[in-house]
Structure 1
Amino acid sequence: MKSITANDSIIHFNEACYTALNEHLKVNNFSKIFILVDENTYEYCLPNFLEKLESNALVEIIEIEAGEEHKTIDTCSGVWNSLSELNADRKSLLINVGGGVITDLGGFVASTFKRGIAYINVPTSLLSMVDASVGGKTGVDLGALKNQIGVISTPDLVLIDTTFLQTLPQNQMRSGLAEMLKHGLISDENYWNKFKDLSKLSLEDLDELIYESVIIKKNVVEEDPFENGLRKTLNFGHTLGHAIESYFLSHQNKKELLHGEAIIVGMILASYISTELVGFPRKTTEEIKTLFLSYYDKVAIDKSEYKSIIDLLKYDKKNNHGNINFVLLEKIGKPKIDCLVDDSIIIDAFEFYES
């Protein structure tokens, strides 16, 4: 697969990753190389990555605990302190090997340490390959509130080696698939149609779908890097999805949802709201619900919880001037941004999902 240039970053795929990485290390003569991993990628991904890394620079490994609950400023402080104690300087490089938590948090750490050091993202989950590692968004959660603290900052390289997907459990693969489904809904009906029967999907097919997803996101981000307009469309399903994810994360009696599991619910809700407000075909909304629930377990949300989830919408990053702004669909491939939605319609959407 041909490498993709996106703003100031280059995205490489599979074997081309390591040729590009080692050439980059040779040309830039970094003083030290730091590799950020979590306990899972330390065990399953790091050995393979180190085998292919060629450099005379000192390599140090920094390991953090795995999981969204560790995507915090406290974890950043631990990594910043480790960098300081290991004598990182402005010419050091941080390589983030992991899923979305690692690439988001690692990018934020690199962008702020000594006012910014170089970093490379090596996404190892499907979600981070098609979403988190591409586009320059970095950051951490504020309590249970998703991605409230962060900056937009571009990695030197993004290295997508799809062999890492062989280390993932099925629920993590489904979590990443949710973002690919979103890319189809907001951008391209032909791409969306490829997901209607995944039973015949080969690994080669998956590589191509990942490549197409990266192209879709790259094209959006290049046109609108700071989310003033078009880039907001990438948040389809995320306004309510993030609120649901935060609600489940902050309640100990609820099973924590993976990002993609919450976004699937959010997209079903947003499809229903699109039908009610901007004329999205009702038949297509029904098809989306049926398709998604054939791939994902239904999430139990009680009526008594609707208001608490709706209250969390005020923290959504797309909000301005006190308005909660939704991304809706007029048709597949034609999103509409900055839509205002009454709470009563959101409640109707929940009831549609639960019915």
Structure 2
Amino acid sequence: MRLGLNLGYWANADQAKRNLALVQEAERLGFSVAWAAEAYGSDNPTTLAWLAAQTSTIELGSAIMQIPARQPAMTAMTAATLDTLSEGRFRLGLGVSGPQVSEGWYGVAFDKPLARTREYIDVVRKVLSRKTVEHSGPTYQLPLPGGPGKALKLSLHPYRTDIPIYLASIGPKNLELTGELADGWLAIFLEPESAHEHLDLIAKGRAKVGKTMEGFDVAPSVPLVIGPDPEVCAELVRGYASLYIGGMGSKEQNFYNRLATRMGYGEAADEIQDHFLNKRYREAMAAVPYEFVDRTSLLGPVERVAERLTAYAAAGVTTLSVSVFDSDIEDGVATLRGLADAMERSGVGE
């Protein structure tokens, strides 16, 4: 199992500086990848290009580039550019986002996400292969029929034509699609004890196209807080958990809320969402069960974190990417060093 770093969202220059410091420390410690996110604030291609210019060995991934934000040909151009400038260090993570962002921010109807994702990846791969791109589907038609457009191919000679593609997916059908189409899975709220339920669906998708799980990257994002008391550590993660379970989507359409429900926390998930959507944020945080946070995070002393790393590796995780809940840069750097120590103690590193 390898280690990664998930930077999440950032909202100001100080946070950007913090991200750079953490990525450079992660590189020094031998982490394999750092991921940048986007929602409706900072975009991640710009962030990743900035990080690539100030690092040399750590790989850099989008977690995620939002499918409704860009035409697939532009995503492929961006991926080829980032991979070339970083000399083969880019990983393309994609996701459909959610209905509120897709329709409210980008003006793109949130319909048929599975079919849209399938078409999107097909066009991206065609562009990266430097084939002349022709595609006729319900969502994308290249070139548009009856007009002056003609089929084109990528004019850039990319560093790689097989840039690895990851999908962020949660529901059963999306997990199966991930196995069928992608090279890796970006997971959230993954607990080792039930990981097989998700991975079985991914394996089913891979079997459809004659593939096994060999070489497939299972890459969850896992909150990390190191300290003497796991319950105190969990307090720092409650806001993150309540945001996703309660606020990432509408009452009718929240994938993370559904995931928590499938994990056995339906009553708590409903309470969190009710508080969050009514702007009772403290109450929403308080409603997040400690057990849920503990099952899906790395909390407590280094020795306890090492035990959980062993469990994640045994469950089939191949790249464990941590989200650090730090008070300042020095605290964040110390946390990454503590994780490296835990990794060494666990003996599950490559």
TM-score (norm 1): 0.33
Which fold has the larger relative contact order, with Cα–Cα distance below 8 Å and residues 6 or more apart in sequence?
2
TM-score, normalization: structure 2?
0.33
- Higher fraction of helix: 1
